[in-house]
Amino acid sequence: MGEENKVGTYNFVAEPFHVDFTGKLTMGVLGNHLLNCAGFHATERGFGIAELNESHFTWVLSRLAIEMEEFPMQYEKFSVQTWVENVYRLFTDRNFSILDKDGKPIGHARSIWAMIDLKTRKPADLLTLHGGSIVDYICQKECPIEKPGRIKVTSVEPVGEYVAKYSDIDCNGHVNSIKYIEHILDLFHIDTFREKMIHRFEMAYVAESYYGDKLTFYREQISDNEFDIEVKKNDSEVVVRSKVIFKN
Amino acid sequence: MGEENKVGTYNFVAEPFHVDFTGKLTMGVLGNHLLNCAGFHATERGFGIAELNESHFTWVLSRLAIEMEEFPMQYEKFSVQTWVENVYRLFTDRNFSILDKDGKPIGHARSIWAMIDLKTRKPADLLTLHGGSIVDYICQKECPIEKPGRIKVTSVEPVGEYVAKYSDIDCNGHVNSIKYIEHILDLFHIDTFREKMIHRFEMAYVAESYYGDKLTFYREQISDNEFDIEVKKNDSEVVVRSKVIFKN
């Protein structure tokens, strides 16, 4: 298979209710599009959720890092490319490029996925699935952003609290991956987004949370433009960690 | 122009993060799709927001009523048809049909729009715009659901409170029309959506709210399955009213 055939390309337009008050596509919607593209790309190659569910496996998103130089603006067309960078026994790395309407890269993203057995909830061995054919999709395309790093928050002073509601819950009964992104960005004052843009956004999905769970948000400022965030449920377990890096 | 050419048809698929915990497309996402279709249809006919803005006019959504017999389920294709039913001096009625993957109608919607002059914030006369050519798009297609009715809430006991955050604000600086839908449905316990489905949902957009506004939610139960909701900002002005009718 040629390297070109290993890359999936999907077209979008920045819809009016998908941009923020500055007219930029929101990080939540972008994350949603990336995860959808991952789904399209995997499905087209026989590794989609629907096929996996039949054999009682599913994909679980572990890490997501998105780095943008600029954002698609309201009504602008843009596209997302995605490909598989690596496959290990328990994880696979899937990367993304975000291209503007003229095909110029304006951002990139990295994601790390595990596969679990729905019956045992244990990780599955990716290298034995479908006779190991997933490695045929590994592609040598460059993704010029750093891998997701370690995020460590020591603050014990909450900066926000939120009880998970109907609209937060996905069809697996969990608070959905995209809603965390919205709730985390809502910790910041709107003026932050007026003066700066989000340059890099990282999510580490650690545990699931459910309807009615009390989510508590802790934030630590690392430098002028860099913030680490930790979300705990019901005053105990860490659910997600996140890093937000703004640029002026 | 034939009646068929007056109807715009747009295709969608129910994405994983756009369905609720029962696998049904959420009312918020459906509302978003309807408003987008209104935009596509108007733009294709020279009455889109972008063209209007150039002549310092814009569309303002006043009422929305959606009535569903069933909802598209995760990964299912569906389509939305939209057309103009009536044009009056200050308002226009735009209707919708929601069709399932086989083209069978599974729901309908009605919306009422005004046009305002962005300089004066006053309503514009639709019958003089573009020499009155908007009436050429009036279409005789049936929309078998009731028009939006009057909603009146007398309860003075709040059932919820929410301060508008970054993610709520659209590019006009207002809390966006779709976010109200989410916040209103979040007043209900998740079990309501387990046991019942939303049959009809109405929104009356009365005034704008902004970042930092405190939204207070009042709810009145009209019958077993019918609820009227009123949202006020900062303990005074009514922002939106809504009616939710469930069916078992």
Which range (A154-158, A195-199, B161-165, B214-218) has the least confidence?
A154-158
Q: Count Cβ–Cβ pairs < 8 Å, chain A vs chain B.
A: 98
Query: For residue A163, what pLDDT is reported?
Result: 98
Fold classification of B158-247 is Thiol Ester Dehydrase; Chain A (3.10.129)
Whether pLDDT at A55 is above 80: no
Report the distance separating Cα B109 and Cα B97, nearest Å: 6
Residue B228 · residue B196 · CB < 8 Å:
no
CA Rg value for chain A: 18
Q: How far is A65 from chain B (nearest CA, A)?
A: 18
User: Which pLDDT belongs to residue A218?
Assistant: 98
Does B4 contact chain A (CB < 8 Å)?
no
Q: Where are the domains of chain A?
A: 3-137, 158-247
- Reported as a single tens digit per residue, the pLDDT across A231-244 is 999 999 999 999 99
pLDDT tens per residue across span B183-218: 999 999 999 999 999 999 999 999 999 999 999 999
Q: What would the pLDDT profile of A178-187 be if each residue is shown by its tens digit? A: 999 999 999 9
Q: A38 and chain B: CB distance < 8 Å anywhere?
A: no
Q: Please tell me which of the candidates B39, B167, B193 has its beta carbon nearest to residue A166.
A: B193
Q: Determine the residue type at B102.
A: D
pLDDT in tens, B230-246: 999 999 999 999 999 99
pLDDT of residue A53: 73
* Residues A19/A89, Cβ–Cβ less than 8 Å: no
The answer on pLDDT for A1 being more than 70 is no
Residue of B nearest to A32 (CA): B17
A43 interfacial to chain B (CB closer than 8 Å): no
Span A98-123, mean pLDDT?
95
Q: Nearest to residue A243, comparing CAs of A64, A112, A82, A72?
A: A64
The pLDDT of residue B41: 94
The CATH homologous superfamily to which domain A3-137 belongs is: Hotdog Thioesterase (3.10.129.10)
A36 interface with B at CB cutoff 8 Å: yes
Is residue B1 predicted with pLDDT exceeding 70? no
Task: Retrieve residue A231's tokens.
Answer: 């979300």
The whole-angstrom distance between A123's CA and the closest CA on chain B is 22
Tell if the CB–CB gap between A167 and B182 is shorter than 8 Å: yes
Q: Which of A13-17, A47-51, A196-200, B119-123 has the highest mean pLDDT?
A: A196-200
Search chain B and give the residue with CA nearest A172: B21
DSSP code string of A171-237: TTSBBPHHHHHHHHHTTS-HHHHHH-EEEEEEEEE-S--BTTPEEEEEEEEEETTEEEEEEEETTSS
- Residues of A with CB below 8 A from B80's CB? none
pLDDT higher than threshold 80 for residue B151: yes
| pLDDT mean across residues, chain A | 94
Q: Taking 80 as the threshold, does the pLDDT of residue B141 lie above it?
A: yes
Binned at pLDDT 50, 70 and 90, residue B87 comes out as very high
**Contact status of B79 with chain A (Cβ, < 8 Å):** no
Same fold, B3-137 and B158-247: yes
Q: Tell me, letter by letter, the H, E, C secondary structure of B172-190.
A: CCEECHHHHHHHHHCCCCH
| pLDDT exceeds 80 at position A27 | yes
Which residues in chain B have Cβ-Cβ distances shorter than 8 Å to A171? Answer: 16, 19-23, 74
For chain A, percent of residues with pLDDT exceeding 90: 84
Per the prediction, chain B carries an average pLDDT of 94
